[in-house]
A and B are shown apart, each in its own frame.
Chain A
Amino acid sequence: MSIIEGLKKDLDSAADAKKIPKPEEINKTPPAFLGNDKGRGLFAKYTENLNDPAKMSLVAQYNAQDPNIDLNEFVELSNQFGESLAAAEALAKKMDSKFVAQLARQCPEFGKYVKTFGSEKVAKIWQEKLPELMARDPARFENIKDAIGKYEKRRDDADRKITQKAEKLGIQPDQYASIMKMDNAKDRGEAMLTVVREKYVGFTGGLKRVLGKLGNTEYNAGSIAEMGRKDVEKAILEMNTLLKDLCVPLLELMNDKDSEPGKAFRGELFGNREMFSSSTKEVSFTEAQKSFPKFEAFKADMEEKWASVPAGSIDADDFRDGYIESELKRFGAVSGKNESAIVRARKSLLEFEASGITLP
């Protein structure tokens, strides 16, 4: 007997016994997943989380085999759930050990779990639990589905284009590679920041200058048509420099996701709000600022405090202690009585140091 036949038989018996209308009477076929225990169990879990009282009532009526249940609505609700379940099962099927390992390379935090437990184990857990997550917490499941979708798209999109641009420009990220070979994380962080800062001097100023010229029509089609040979040759060289100055940091950003230099690099990027501002093009940094508010606030606070300290009047330890104390106040904690605040304050300090800005 097929699942559908079994379900039909159950429903027919129930309908006969409780006078529930038969599916054919309402011209609907109940979804197949309700014909097995797993499907029924997930549906029961999912419907426990429904926020709509009318839907909850409907499910309660079904569970109680209430003869007044509106099977039409119930079937529609079940079909919606069936679609979500199918999506969850499809995603679970995709999460094999190979796919999990790929995700781990792109997601450093997720990667820690894969490194600790192995891609096969994590894949097995996800395959088993993803449909349950959909049932228990549909919103969180949707977020995960979107995140995985983004990673898949990302794998094929921006990184590939940046690589193509780099190849076209003849850029070999040797400098980046040599930095990454340094043993000491702090050395790598400082070296990377030196490179990034050097790039910024040319990049930020250069891009603003060029885009500013565009805005002032200095480089529009009409003005270019009037330019002499020397100016054209100089401008082409300027464009080449700008392209390289932009492509190298993007390559570094693309390749370095979890190291201290990578974090520092991103901190520098997101700390530099003016980077893409120009008279012709305003780019929103809302997303970036949302992701790194703590870093920026911390950096600004630290810089302000340090600027107020007269040169040579304080040593590094005093400055660190003073900063930790101010952090404790910010968290509303009393010094020495709130361990978590101390932990957070010290962690914040470490984050600041990881940014590569050297304390005296």
Chain B
Amino acid sequence: MTTKEIYEKLGTFAGQNAGDEAHAWVLAHAQEFPEEVRDEIVFQFSVDAMLKDSAETSAIDAMKKQGLEAMDAIERIKSQLQDRLRVLDLKDQLAK
């Protein structure tokens, strides 16, 4: 595949704003590209892929962080309840 053909194909994807399709096409056909062009395109597309992953990861990380905070809150309540149980046990023992 010539550089011109690759350029035109990517231009078509760009015109359609079809980023996902462009990624899939590059992955499927990159072995047919001239080496220098392939390296450049693989680099640019893999950078793009990592930034896309990063956006999703940030959202998932926020979810995990919120989940951990909620678990900490529940554990604090549980700890207070366990203290109360120990107090009740002690009172029962003293009453015997």
Instruction: Write the residues of chain A forming the contact surface with B, with a CB cutoff of 8 angstroms.
Output: 103, 106-110, 112-113, 116-117, 122, 125-126, 128-129, 133, 140, 143-144, 146-148, 150-151, 154, 158-159, 161-162, 165, 207, 210-211, 214, 219, 221, 224-225, 227-229, 232-233, 235-236, 239-240, 242-243, 246-247, 249-250, 253-254, 266, 269-270, 276, 281, 283, 287-288, 290-292, 340, 343-344, 347
Contacts and interface: CB of A to CB of B under 8 A. Distances in A.
B37 interface: no
Contact of B81 (A110, A207, A224, A281): A224
A239 B50 contact: no
Contacts of A116: 27, 30
A113 B59 contact: no
B49 A253 contact: no
B60 A140 contact: no
B53 A158 contact: no
B90 interface: no
Given A150-B54, A229-B85, A343 B18 contact: yes
Interface centre among B21, B64, B65 (most CB of A within 10 A): B64
B47 A106 contact: no
Given A129-B39, A269-B63, A229 B88 contact: yes
B64 A253 contact: yes
B5 interface: no
A232 B53 contact: no
A179 B82 CA distance: 36
A165 B71 CA distance: 9
Interface in B1-24: 16-18, 20-21, 23
Contacts of A158: 61, 64-65, 68
Interface string B20-57: 11010001001000000001101101110111111111
8 contacts: A107-B54, A125-B43, A129-B43, A133-B43, A214-B77, A243-B71, A247-B71, A291-B59
Given A165-B68, A225-B84, A340-B16, A107 B63 contact: no
Interface of B: 16-18, 20-21, 23, 27, 30, 39-40, 42-43, 45-47, 49-68, 70-71, 73-75, 77-78, 80-85, 87-88
B75 to A, nearest CB: 7
B73 A270 contact: no
Given A109-B52, A113-B46, A158-B64, A270 B59 contact: yes
B70 A113 contact: no
B28 to A, nearest CB: 9
Nearest to B47: A144
A339 to B, nearest CB: 8
A144 B50 contact: yes
A5 to B, nearest CB: 35
A109 B64 contact: no
B37 to A, nearest CB: 12
A-B interface, 7 closest residue pairs, ranked by CB to CB distance from nearest: A107-B53, A340-B16, A147-B54, A109-B49, A291-B59, A239-B78, A113-B46
A219 to B, nearest CB: 5
B65 to A, nearest CB: 6
Nearest to A169: B71
Contacts of B57: 106-107, 150-151, 154
Contact of B27 (A107, A113, A214, A347): A113
Contacts of B75: 239, 243
Given A108-B53, A147-B53, A249-B67, 9 more contacts: A109-B50, A117-B30, A128-B39, A147-B50, A154-B57, A162-B68, A229-B88, A254-B64, A270-B63
Given A110-B50, A144-B50, A233 B85 contact: yes
Contact of B62 (A106, A133, A236, A287): A287
A26 to B, nearest CB: 39
A246 B74 contact: yes
Contacts of B23: 109, 112
A253 B21 CA distance: 26
A232 B47 contact: no
A335 to B, nearest CB: 17
